[in-house]
Structure 1
Amino acid sequence: MESKKFSPEEPDWDKFLEQLNSDSQLEGQFSPVESTQFNELKRLVAETADALSVYDKLDCEGSWNTCMDKARERNLVEEVASNRFWSVKLFMRYAAAVIFLTLTIGGYFLIKTKFGQVVEDSVIAGGIEPGGSKARLTLSNGDTMVLDADEKGIRIDDKGISYESGGAVSSFSQEVTYATLSVPRAGQYQLVLPDGSKVWLNSESELTYPVSFKGTLRVVHLKGEGFFDVQHMVDRPFVVKSKGQDIEVLGTAFNVSAYENDGAVTTTLVRGRVQIGATGVDERFLLKPGMQALVRNGHVHVKTGVNVEEYTAWKDGVIVLEKQNIREVLKQIERWYDVEFVVGKTDLPMETMSGEVSNKLPIDVLLKGIEGQLNIKFEQNGRRFMIKN
């Protein structure tokens, strides 16, 4: 039987582990520091070997640099000299991927659980699948259409609507002046506006916009969460109106989270400049990249040095947590998996969580990771989960 090719492009984990165990004599070539790192990596690989069967559930394309960065953050790997034996290089690279896997599944905490049990139980709970491309488009003339789930987004101009892949959705009559794109729970969708600006809508969100921008302003209305990459037009500012705030930009990229049941509206700037203010208040605040504005009860609070990835990675299929409490984490899971968590009389843990998780991960794997970290239990009843200590 022909063996599988052992390469960085197509990792053969069984082959890698076999090679690792047979190359222990290479330890003699390491410095004391490298030897410590090698042994620590061996321990991690052995501890997480059973978890490799969930590797295919994750979208790891293009993640090698992230793998190595995360391994370096834990002082487990460093650059390998070019004259090292080739298998040592491969070991460092593949071990970094294993570490990334443990970091990715549940954000730094599944490494503390028994992976054999996690993998064994990692079936989709009661048919609860991760979210995907879902949306409904409503036109000002009353026409409503459910958009193709196999498509990621639509493009709109004064002639009509088409999918980004090129397929037609609908043509316009003279009576259509605006449209509303609505994304349900467990959904996301993309949109290219008439001016070429791009918008990503998250779960439980909607955007109302004109089919053709006229006048001196480009105005859209947002409910929920959206990421905007706005085309630069010096003489036609782009305005996003959401719950309790207005944002004015010329050309920039930023994320807005304006859910009705959240206490504040959060605007996080990735690129460019934006002016933001509370509705009905004259004072305006200028945001620069890495800054965030929180609008609550007519007041604006500006933060600097924000990790923008935490607030924007959702559009790329990743949930990033940075010192978030369990309530904030569960709120994201509710929207993406279309489930409900019931706390009851249980006292929720005070610990915060940090890390990254693919939004394609089965909910069972995700919840078991949380159970292992926070010492709580989830009891399922349909799409409802009761939280118990």
Structure 2
Amino acid sequence: MDKDYTKYTADQLLNDDFFLKSESSPTAESLLFWQKQMAENKSLAAEIEVARLFLNAIRTNVNKTALPNSESEALWQCIEQKNNSTDRKSRQRYLLLSVIGIAASICILLSLGKYITLQSDKQETNYLSIIEAIPQSDSTSSKVQLILSNNEKMTIDGEDSQLEYKQEGSININSQKIEQIKKEKQKTTFNQLIVPVGKRSTVTFSDGTKIWVNSDSKVIYPVVFSEKEREIFVEGEIYLEVSKDEKKPFIVKTRQMDIKVLGTQFNVTAYDNEKDMQVVLVSGKVEIKSGNKHKDILSPNEMFRYDKEINQGTVSRVDIDDYVAWKDGYYQFKQQSLEVILKKLSRYYGVLLYCGEDINEVSCSGKLDLKEDLEDVLSSLKKAIPIEIEKKNESIEIKVKH
């Protein structure tokens, strides 16, 4: 971007195509560009904040032709707080220019469809926008990635990486201390952990809560939890040991479920490309609000299964070891069908494993070591049940012997 934005005002930003597109469809590059502009120019940073205040107002009033007087006054107070100018007349003129800029920009914003909004404790975080801001090429990386709140990307070596957040704001990654850029306390900023197929990771938050993150999963979490609650977003599978804090409940959000706890241990499986989502409770108690807004309470050794296709959840008793052993580096099966076993291995290693129609006729009990390569795991499986293994390009066919 060659354009010089150093002397831009808020109304000019609201009429600038690149700024509007950056707000409506942010990319990692555009986010980094505007963060750099704000860091290098305090005056421009104030103008950007004013422009974003109006964009945020448009979001909440998109179906209205004009802002109500009460909201206009609230916006004016916000603008005054963001400005150090003592010339009220010039600021009133400035406000009028900004409103004109908004009127010209509304059509553009509506056509773009969606945009990232300012984060606050009173607004629901748009986690999907945060995910979509990550370039697709990064999602195919063979290494664990940590994307910091300033959009700095870090790759982490190892099959089973460990992250630990300290109270003072630093992170230990595989026992190596990493300093984060300090942020203003009133701003909610997020880190993102992306774990590719065949890898696992753990995160220990500053409150003592620990999560295990399974293969092919994403977790988004705030650098600092808010004063009222602790909230993270998950796509994939995680296991949690939540530190108890009655004043700050812990909430795990997925695309279809919200799981609320005070202090407990449980497993969440919520892959976006699978129709079933699961919550398995090890200890404590959790409250689950699913897609149809229905609430279910789980007790230990119970599993909540949510079917996205029919928008319905069911609760049943299970052997929890069959669902949580992966956090210790292995899969455990007790009379599980071959179909279930192959599905889990396909998901973990990122390789399509399939079998014929007689797949449900075969069940298996035992353990499979996830630290081994897929070829070694299938060899172990072959010793336990009568199967043949045939590689076909990027997939593997499993044939049952009769």
TM-score normalised by length of structure 1? 0.60
Q: Deviations over 1:178-203 (max 9, x none)?
A: 11111000000000123221000000
The answer to whether 1:136 aligns with 2:148 is no
Query: Are 1:186 and 1:203, in contact at CA under 8 Å, matched by a contact in 2?
Result: yes
Does residue 299 in structure 1 map to residue 312 in structure 2?
A: yes
Identity %: 30
Which of 162, 165, 169 is residue 156 of structure 1 equivalent to?
165
Matched, 1:167 2:167: no
Q: 8 Å contact 2:159–2:198 — kept in the other structure?
A: no
Kept after mapping to 2: 8 A contact 1:194/1:211: no
Q: Which of 206, 218, 231 is residue 218 of structure 2 equivalent to?
A: 206
Secondary structure of the structure 1 residue equivalent to 2:232 = strand
C-alpha separation between the residues in 2 aligned to 1:367 and 1:165?
Answer: 30
For the pair 1:147 / 2:156, whether they are aligned, the reply is yes
Distance 1:387 1:351, change over 3 A: closer
Distance 1:370 1:149 in 2: 25
Cα distance in 2 for partners of 1:164, 1:291 equals 34
SS in 1 for 2:263: coil
Matched, 1:254 2:266: yes
Cα distance per residue 1:150-206 (max 9 Å; x no partner): 773111257444226541234223277111111000000000123221000000011
2:388 corresponds to which residue? 377
Gaps (5+ residues) in structure 1?
A: 1-132
Cα distance in 1 between the residues matched to 2:384 and 2:160: 37
TM-score by length of 2: 0.58
Checking the alignment, whether the CA contact within 8 Å between 2:368 and 2:380 is kept in structure 1 is: no
Counterpart secondary structure, 1:319: strand
What letter is aligned with 2:158?
A
Residue aligned with 1:145, SS: strand
Q: Is 1:286 aligned with 2:297?
A: yes
Q: Distance in 2 between matches of 1:295 and 1:150?
A: 30
Once the two structures are TM-superposed, the CA of residue 369 in structure 1 deviates from its matched residue by 4.3
Structure 2 unmatched runs, 5+: 1-141
Q: Secondary structure at the match of 1:214?
A: coil
* Distance change in 2, residues 1:151/1:170 (3 Å): farther
**Residues 166 and 173 of structure 1: CA distance in aligned 2, closer, same or farther (over 3 Å):** same
* Cα deviation, residue 292, structure 1: 1.1
Equivalent positions of 1:187-266 (< 5 A) are: 187-266=199-278
Distance 1:374 1:217 in 2: 48
Pair 1:312 & 2:312 matched: no
The SS at the match of 1:261 is coil
Distance in structure 2 (CA, Å) of the matches to 1:256 and 1:192: 17
Distance across 1 between alignment mates of 2:214 and 2:247: 30
- 3-state secondary structure, aligned to 2:345: helix
Partner of 2:359, secondary structure, is coil
Aligned to 1:215, the other structure's residue is in SS state coil
Q: How do 1:27-106 residues align onto structure 2 when only pairs under 5 Å count?
A: none
The Cα of 1:289 is off from its aligned counterpart by 1.1
RMSD (Å), alpha carbons: 2.5
1:304-329 Cα deviation digits (max 9, x unpaired): 2x211111110111211123222221
Equivalent residue, structure 1, for 2:11: none
Q: Structure 2 CA distance, aligned partners of 1:312 and 1:276?
A: 19
2:364 partner amino acid = M
Q: What are the residue-to-residue correspondences of 1:312-351 with 2, within 5 Å?
A: 312-343=324-355, 347-351=358-362
1:355 to 362, 366, 369: 366
The whole-number CA distance in structure 1 between the counterparts of 2:143 and 2:157 is 7
Alignment partners' CA distance in 2, 1:253 and 1:335? 23
Of structures 1 and 2, the one with the larger relative CO (CA 8 A, separation 6+) is: 1
Partner Cα distance (1:146, 1:365) in 2: 27
Residue 134 of structure 1: CA displacement?
A: 4.7
Change (3 A) 1:375 1:150: closer
Contact 2:190 2:220 (8 Å CA) reproduced: yes
